[in-house]
Amino acid sequence: MKILVLHGPNLNLLGQREPSVYGSKTLDAINQELGQIAQNAGVKIEYLQTNHEGVLIDRLHQAMGDGTDGILINPGGLTHSSIALRDAIAALAQPVIEVHLSNIHAREAFRHHSYISPVAAGVLCGFGSDSYSLALHGLLAKLKKSNCS
């Protein structure tokens, strides 16, 4: 099984950018935790962080035919603005889980709407860096269930 983890704009600044909102854990530390979960589950995992919308879209298109079974994505600010990213996710057969460190529904009004949520298999937000590990466990359970059906 292969999982793709996509980190959107500004997530490369985790640990430095607004730690009171996003926590003090770095993106590398989050990826290491996800890698440990994947290793324990016998799953391959790949990570990509980019500040460029088109790079995320291109990687999602690539996932359509490269053996990716499921995707975690934290689209960052693109969550609230990118119809193109939403459309790329909607085109996928694989389940996609939307992840956010903060509770986007308890923040500024413009963050309350997600273009991604309606086309995601699930959404996890508000648990800090644990949002990622909870989302990965949920995605793996979903994939295992669908493989048993």
Q: Beta-strand (E) ranges in 9-118?
A: 44-49, 70-74, 96-100
Q: Beta-strand (E) ranges in 51-128?
A: 70-74, 96-100, 122-125
Question: What backbone torsions phi and psi does residue 102 show, to the nearest 5 degrees?
Answer: -95, 165
132 assigned to active site:
no
70-74: strand order across its sheet: 44-49, 2-7, 70-74, 96-100, 122-125
Helix axes 27-41, 130-148, angle to 10 degrees: 30
C-alpha span between 88 and 59 (Å, rounded): 10
Q: Which of 7, 22, 115, 132 is catalytic?
A: 22
Q: Which of 7, 52, 80, 100 is catalytic?
A: 100
C-alpha span between 84 and 82 (Å, rounded): 5
Q: Which residues are catalytic?
A: 22, 100
